[in-house]
Structure 1
């Protein structure tokens, strides 16, 4: 597909999902500029003990965060034998 705007739905789906819809090159550059200004402010500022943390500009995630899987219970050989011997 050629000549589609980078903010189109097709480009968003090709880049990783609906969260990328509307995120063109210009928006990514603005977010990078915002983060660079905050980083420079933090690096060159005259802070007392510890410089403050400036939040980054929120960006779309490439992968959605999955819930942590439940820890699996260990099964002993005796448990397996008990399960199969019930049948």
Structure 2
């Protein structure tokens, strides 16, 4: 089962993480659990979304990006390159 952690800590909340969390909940996927998380330690890159067990970090996620993550990553198995955290997923 995949788990999608959407940060709900101070900086991410200021950047709209509650709406991002709700956007993920509005697009349910079988065998995927969406979790409101505590700080994930990437405050300057919020809203932070982490997908496990894939260990993929997305940053600066907006509510409309949740649809792309659901479709491309969770359903089709393709990463959403434009949202990948640049310090964690170096190219």
TM-score of Structure 1 vs Structure 2, range by shorter chain:
under 0.3
| Higher normalized contact order (CA 8 Å, seq sep 6+, divided by chain length) | 2
Which has more helix, going by share of residues? 1
Q: Larger radius of gyration, structure 1 or 2?
A: 1
Q: Normalization by structure 2: what TM-score? A: 0.26
Which has more strand, going by share of residues? 2
Q: Normalization by structure 1: what TM-score? A: 0.27
